[in-house]
Structure 1
Amino acid sequence: MRRLFINTIVCAVYSCFMGCTVAAQISDTRITEDEIEQHLTFLTSSKTKGRYPGTAGNRRVVKYIRSEFEQYGLKSFNGDYLQKFNAKLRTADGEESSKEVKTWNVVGYIEGNDNHYKKEYIVIGAHYDHLGYGGPSSKKPGSEEIHPGADDNASGVSALLEIAEKMARNRYMLDRSVIFVSFGAEEQGLLGSKYFVEHLPVDKEKVKLMINMDMIGRLNTEKQIYMGGAGTFPGGVKLMKELGIQMGLNPVVHAGEVGGSDHVSFYKEGISVVGLHTGGHSEYHRPEDTMDLINIGGERTIAEYIYKVLIRVVNENYELTFINQD
């Protein structure tokens, strides 16, 4: 009876945006281990061949993410979820690179509901590319094995998709708007995020915070989730700690120590950031970074945690200004 009452209220409030039948389903939307596993299975499959830029496997992943964004009902900028750019591929130390390939960022957004604050944006991202069969960034030199990159960064992408789906169903809760980006060519030098920041689909001054997930699939027994940059926005350190503890996590929060993943591209442009990961491991950039080592239950908890962070910062009452940590 209580659940029916809540759904009835939601229908009344949200009827101008969605039908009552859909609104009644909102409270049932959950981030699930099964769906995280489905995303991980696809992203690390032999068909994607390590998601190396310029390959058929990479393009297959781009189509998959685009299809998911479309299915969730995310909006696109300029009528297309794909932001094309050219990536210059890394070579061994001392060698000059001349090869460029075409690749993409996949971008969608959910518009906020407040007439004023919907013109402000939170960006949440995770890179989808990896090392293919190895190459100069592999920690197993000379390897010709597929590097599936389950933790790096199929874990981040699968969480991004689940968060996007849940937030799309609960879009009535948003004051600010949220942009979801899966970056290409991160392993080639943060190229996708650099391109995105240089070609933002909205005014840079309106981008208030960037949240990045890179390697969040190995939650340990101490339940430690590490993050840097939380001091770049007001109350960030306190927020990340408190919500993490509420989720049963052990958040290790740094005000600075921004890190080395895609959120750095935003921080360099004066945009507040926080980057999350579950720590390094011996399988990093090796063929052994496989799906069977992912803590799927732990990743689900982290995704729910990040969702709660988003719900808090999209609220018009949460002040968002840039605080330099250099």
Structure 2
Amino acid sequence: MKNINLFLIVCLLFLTKYAQAQQIEIPKLKKHIYYLADDKMKGRGTGSKEVFKAADYIEKEFKKYKLQPKGDHGYRQSFKAKVWKVKVADSIRDADNIIGFVDNGAALTVVIGAHYDHLGTGHQGSSKDSLGVGKIHNGADDNASGTAGLLELARYFSTNKEKEPYNLLFIAFGAEELGLVGSKYFTEHPTLPLEKITAMLNMDMIGRYNSDNGLAVIGYGTSSQWPTIFKDIQAPIKFNLSKDGNGGSDQTSFYKKNIPVLFFHTGGHPDYHMPTDDADKIDYKALKSILDLEKSVIENVMKQSDKMDFIWTN
């Protein structure tokens, strides 16, 4: 009887762990955002010891999910970024993209990205606070929310016990706030051939859902296949499809390389680029719904029999 009970307990633990892998988890999203947007991280400004600490955190998560390293040295792809909006003594700064790969032995790859840097203490520019220099800009929405989404999607697709028909490349971009530097660097120095990428999905500021505005899904016009992919997509949140592939985030770098893109974004708010963009203001329930939507989109992309075509939208 004891052996039977032990067997049942082991089975229950396995099924519980497997069930968790099948869904996006709000507690994990909170854990990531509260860590990345804590005052101790001092706003994750490019070149700071705190942004490298954030990179270590992302790399540790990638290792936990057994993603293959796909940087130039391990998970890291290192580059230089220049502060150009303000005059500072340390205008040239070190930065990293953190890159992990789910290798399903497929011919084509879907890229999922988000940037993990923010404005630091306001010295690198872009603060909307007229007295913001010296204040910590935590960037919970911009873009700890997207980074948390990236990590949860990486966890899901690496632990769902499925061998997908496409590979998945997860990239946490550095130095986005200095002009999309990390994503530009990757597309100029790809660690996987760009011609093998069928689409790129980007998350930037997905934590402050407003039901009046809905979720913006930008890039719908960059391939003739997006309408088919979205045909049966349903979600408990409102989402609006926009054609343009350009925009103020990292998907633009891929769009300029003739790769179909989508950009998930919940819009501006009074805390944008302010010291008040904090973790307790994130709508975690809506964030989960956004990631469930994106997960469905990714799964539908992987149902396409051929590489997606590309369309210039402007």
Cα drift, residue 142 of structure 1? 3.3
Supply the distance in 1 between the matched residues of 2:161 and 2:256 (Cα, whole angstroms): 30
Does residue 210 of structure 1 match 2:197? no
> TM-score, normalised to structure 2's length?
0.89
**Could you say what secondary structure the match of 2:79 adopts?**
strand
Q: 1:24 to 1:290 in 2, by over 3 A?
A: closer
| Structure 1 residues 194-273: aligned runs within 5 Å | 194-222=184-212, 224-237=214-227, 239-240=229-230, 242-243=232-233, 246-256=234-244, 258-273=246-261
Does residue 91 of structure 1 match 2:85? yes
Supply the distance in 2 between the matched residues of 1:318 and 1:204 (Cα, whole angstroms): 15
1:137-190 Cα distance to aligned partner (Å, 9 max, x none) = 100133221000011000000011001101101252411101000000000000
**Could you say what secondary structure the match of 1:172 adopts?**
coil
Counterpart contact for 2:225–2:309, Cα < 8 Å: no
Q: Which residue of 2 aligns with 1:141?
A: 130
Q: Which residue of 2 aligns with 1:33?
A: 26
In the alignment, structure 2 segments of 5+ residues that lack a partner are 1-12
Supply the distance in 2 between the matched residues of 1:24 and 1:248 (Cα, whole angstroms): 25
Cα drift, residue 317 of structure 1? 2.7
1:281-316 Cα distance to aligned partner (Å, 9 max, x none) = 111100011111100111011111111111111235
**Could you say what secondary structure the match of 1:119 adopts?**
coil
Supply the distance in 1 between the matched residues of 2:51 and 2:215 (Cα, whole angstroms): 28
| Structure 1 residues 20-169: aligned runs within 5 Å | 25-29=17-21, 30-77=23-70, 80-92=74-86, 99-113=91-105, 118-135=106-123, 136-143=125-132, 144-169=134-159
Supply the distance in 2 between the matched residues of 1:25 and 1:295 (Cα, whole angstroms): 25
In the alignment, structure 1 segments of 5+ residues that lack a partner are 1-20
Task: Tell me the percent identity.
Answer: 36
**Could you say what secondary structure the match of 1:87 adopts?**
strand
Supply the distance in 2 between the matched residues of 1:270 and 1:295 (Cα, whole angstroms): 34
Supply the distance in 2 between the matched residues of 1:233 and 1:22 (Cα, whole angstroms): 40
Q: 1:138 to 1:153 in 2, by over 3 A?
A: same
Answer with 96-105 or 127-136: which moved more.
Answer: 96-105
Cα drift, residue 222 of structure 1? 4.2
Paired residues, number: 298
1:183-205 Cα distance to aligned partner (Å, 9 max, x none) = 00000000000001111112111
Cα drift, residue 76 of structure 1? 1.2
Q: Which residue of 1 aligns with 2:292?
A: 304
Cα drift, residue 223 of structure 1? 7.2
> TM-score, normalised to structure 1's length?
0.86
**Could you say what secondary structure the match of 2:202 adopts?**
strand
**Could you say what secondary structure the match of 2:100 adopts?**
strand
Equivalent AA in structure 2 for residue 119 of structure 1 = A
Counterpart contact for 1:120–1:177, Cα < 8 Å: yes
Supply the distance in 1 between the matched residues of 2:281 and 2:227 (Cα, whole angstroms): 30
Equivalent AA in structure 2 for residue 249 of structure 1 = I
Q: Which residue of 2 aligns with 1:185?
A: 175
1:245-291 Cα distance to aligned partner (Å, 9 max, x none) = x1212111012253110000011111111111011111110001111
Q: 1:32 to 1:98 in 2, by over 3 A?
A: closer
